[in-house]
């Protein structure tokens, strides 16, 4: 699997690159599976593709703190990410992997791979709910996916140093909650992994056998998607 450790300058560009990598693979211009790691340089809220912004985001707080609100093209609820939150994206070939032909089996394969790798240092890591990773009932990773005909994008966040009180300040109550959350507010439900960023990066790369970087990455498509879609308020605030 190819490996790309690349954080771009703006939140919109970083969301756009995940999408561009998927579209490049589906079009045939990118033929190898790829793992991308990145970490935001500033805090931002990222809505799911069907999230309702007024329900899931505390907009006055975000505006006061100058925290951008954007929307990804995959599902799930709104998240807060930023420094202390390692983001990963897998672009996977469904034709090569029978385990990727179903949504639940895709979640199972990716999350069990992550849980096995992280569990070597952090005891008790397990998949919870549909697409969470947790330790002793506290979530540290939320994930989502976007499926095309032959390829899919599976991406998520791994918390290791995020200020958890900022979650309560910026996010509303999610419309759907896994049973194990038991009604807890964000800062009581979520945790940071007891790892530093460098170690976490190395563990995720090893878990998916990330090797050499790609010769190129879709810069023009990324810029276009950032301008026309992910950086466009009409997309971010459409629901």
For 80-125, write each residue's pLDDT tens digit: 999 999 999 999 999 999 999 899 999 999 999 999 999 999 999 9
Residue 150's pLDDT is what? Answer: 95
Range of the domain at 195: 2-236
Phi and psi (nearest 5°) for 53?
-60, -40
Sole residue written with tokens 């300058």: 9
Residue 48's pLDDT is what? Answer: 93
Phi and psi (nearest 5°) for 163?
-70, 105
Phi and psi (nearest 5°) for 186?
-55, -50
- 200 neighbors 193 (Cβ within 8 angstroms): yes
Give the chain's domain count. Answer: 1
Residue 8's pLDDT is what? Answer: 97
What distance in Å separates the CA atoms of residue 235 and residue 19, rounded to the nearest whole number?
14
List beta partners, residue 46: 70, 79
- 200 neighbors 85 (Cβ within 8 angstroms): no
Which CA distances in Å does 190 have to 10, 24, 79, 82, 233?
26, 34, 11, 15, 29
What distance in Å separates the CA atoms of residue 86 and residue 62, rounded to the nearest whole number?
21
CATH code (residue 84) = 3.30.930.10
- 136 neighbors 182 (Cβ within 8 angstroms): no
Residue 30's pLDDT is what? Answer: 87
- 152 neighbors 92 (Cβ within 8 angstroms): yes
Residue 176's pLDDT is what? Answer: 87
- 114 neighbors 204 (Cβ within 8 angstroms): yes
Low-confidence ranges of the chain (pLDDT < 50): none
- 22 neighbors 91 (Cβ within 8 angstroms): yes
List beta partners, residue 70: 46
- 168 neighbors 45 (Cβ within 8 angstroms): no
């Amino acid at each position: 699997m190819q490996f790309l450790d690349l954080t771009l300058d703006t939140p919109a560009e970083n969301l756009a690159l995940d999408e561009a990598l998927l579209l490049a693979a589906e079009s045939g211009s990118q033929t190898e599976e790829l793992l991308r790691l990145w970490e935001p340089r500033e805090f931002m809220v990222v809505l799911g593709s069907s999230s309702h912004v007024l329900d899931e985001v505390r907009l006055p707080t975000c505006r006061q703190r100058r925290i951008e609100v954007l929307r990804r093209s995959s599902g799930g609820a709104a998240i807060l990410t930023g420094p202390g939150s390692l983001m990963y994206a897998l672009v996977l070939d469904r034709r090569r992997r029978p385990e990727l032909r179903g949504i639940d089996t895709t979640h199972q394969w990716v999350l069990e791979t992550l849980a096995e790798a992280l569990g070597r240092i952090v005891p008790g890591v397990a998949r919870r709910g549909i697409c969470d990773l947790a330790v002793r009932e506290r979530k540290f990773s939320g994930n989502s996916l976007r499926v095309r005909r032959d390829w899919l994008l599976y991406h998520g966040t791994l918390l290791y140093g995020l200020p958890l009180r900022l979650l309560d300040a910026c996010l509303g109550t999610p419309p759907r909650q896994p049973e194990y959350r038991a009604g807890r507010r964000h800062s009581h439900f979520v945790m940071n992994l007891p790892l530093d960023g460098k170690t976490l990066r190395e563990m995720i790369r090893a878990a998916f056998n990330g090797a050499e970087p790609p010769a190129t990455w879709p810069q023009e498509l990324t810029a276009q998607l950032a301008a026309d879609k992910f950086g466009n308020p009409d997309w971010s605030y459409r629901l």
